[in-house]
Structure 1
């Protein structure tokens, strides 16, 4: 039984209803740290909630994330408890293992579970840019029980050795990213940004799933791996350093509907 599940189990057993409100622009305090959350519009006030823990980009904070029109929308706005931690000095400590922000994120999830009923089998972790690197660090160090990593325009070094992993990894990156240059692999390998997970999951050759377009009309090229240890998806687009419209909500919608990679929702 994973440490995350045990943590949520004890929090759920002690849950007796939402604590004092801290939602939206009002931060939830956790010791000397804080985070923001957004309750889903269609929650009935009782059912266990899927959770999306999203790490903001550099120089941002969680108050932006809970009202972000590329994150707090679609399936996330309707069905998912969106949780947005605040980084110290508006940044994250992801450069080395044993990050203090990993401990903070784990404590934050436990705090959320003490405030609201959460579904321990539907905990998703995402991040953008600096926050994507922190999301990688978190699931690499303490990813047991995490259903999926959804990373946008940021990775860790592919030579890292992860102690834990989520069930599913989905990564999106722009080939013209001039902030965090696209980490092209040997011979121009465009799937290199997920080579760490392919190695960790003991993946064989990937499947080219062709192109698909989000409602923003941005075209993605997708490669997917169904591996013994987990599932990996890599989406590439011709743009730069940004969160593509609809990408995170669409991944969450698909995972909630199917629980697996499947074909992209169009």
Structure 2
């Protein structure tokens, strides 16, 4: 176990499948770390972290629950610090949610600013300054990942949204090319690939295909169609790897609103292939 100068002592306790983490006086499931705009949770590997994996929960979920997730265990095993910010909007239908750009007028907090505060605080606590960062997220958290990738592309080294994309109105273009691996269930009825509307059409989930089109144009994928497609059992892939800049990967699975088996391992394999 790596020791930091007091008071920044980090500890991690692993009991079977239950994972908790503590950073001095904050970070575990009972005691979140705090920044000006909100809270986050963090788990540290046994040695000096070689980078950060930040994972955004879905609407209605708790960030603390991600400390026990497969993504957390996989990230820690590979030597990354794992960070789970809390999307918190007390006046929202889902108290734990994210203020994606298209719906930001419905929410109290600017979550793009909040995530920047979290990243700065994590870097100050851990000393991880130049190492790679993966920003991942599920469902509404996945939509937040798309927003950050598009409007603040320097936030992370790479992006891995799961079952969530832009909401309408979609941006016409993003700020800069990025590396992004999007995963979606073919039978997802909660966030369908084509999106769906709420509140008599006032709020509309964006079309995943349209989201990919925006990013293709930003990345300079002039051919539109992917360079190649591939298949692995029940997983179907489309690879845009010959664009002017950045990379886009799409992975579809036969399931619904969730992750396919082995998603965390595959995401981190892909991330390390981009940064290794």
Same fold per superposition (TM over 0.5): yes
Residue equivalent to 2:240: 225
Check whether the contact 1:127–1:134 (CA below 8 A) recurs between aligned residues: yes
Quote the offset at 1:171 in angstroms.
0.2
Are the structure 2 counterparts of residues 58 and 97 from structure 1 closer, same or farther at C-alpha, using a change threshold of 3 Å?
closer
Residue equivalent to 1:169: 180
Quote the offset at 1:208 in angstroms.
2.8
Deviations 1:176-233 (A, max 9, x none): 101011128xxxx9855522211110102313331125xxxxx211111121121000
Residue equivalent to 1:58: 59
Check whether the contact 1:50–1:80 (CA below 8 A) recurs between aligned residues: yes
By relative contact order (CA 8 Å, sep 6+), the higher-ranking structure is: 1
Structure with larger Rg: 2
Check whether the contact 1:62–1:85 (CA below 8 A) recurs between aligned residues: yes
Whether 1:93 and 2:99 are equivalent positions in the alignment is yes
> When the two structures are aligned, how many residues end up with a matched partner?
232
Structure 1 spans left out of the alignment, 5+ residues: 1-15, 214-218, 261-266
Quote the offset at 1:145 in angstroms.
4.7
Relative to the length of structure 2, the TM-score reads: 0.75
Q: How big is the alpha-carbon RMSD for the aligned residues of Structure 1 and Structure 2?
A: 2.7
Residue equivalent to 2:20: none
Check whether the contact 2:177–2:245 (CA below 8 A) recurs between aligned residues: no
Are the structure 2 counterparts of residues 143 and 212 from structure 1 closer, same or farther at C-alpha, using a change threshold of 3 Å?
same
Residue equivalent to 1:39: 44
Structure 2 spans left out of the alignment, 5+ residues: 1-6, 10-22, 89-94, 196-206
Quote the offset at 1:238 in angstroms.
1.3
Whether 1:202 and 2:203 are equivalent positions in the alignment is no
Deviations 1:111-170 (A, max 9, x none): 000100215341111100011011111222212152111010010048413543463110
Relative to the length of structure 1, the TM-score reads: 0.77
Whether 1:106 and 2:96 are equivalent positions in the alignment is no
Q: Distance in 2 between matches of 1:32 and 1:52?
A: 20
What secondary structure does 2:188 align onto?
A: coil
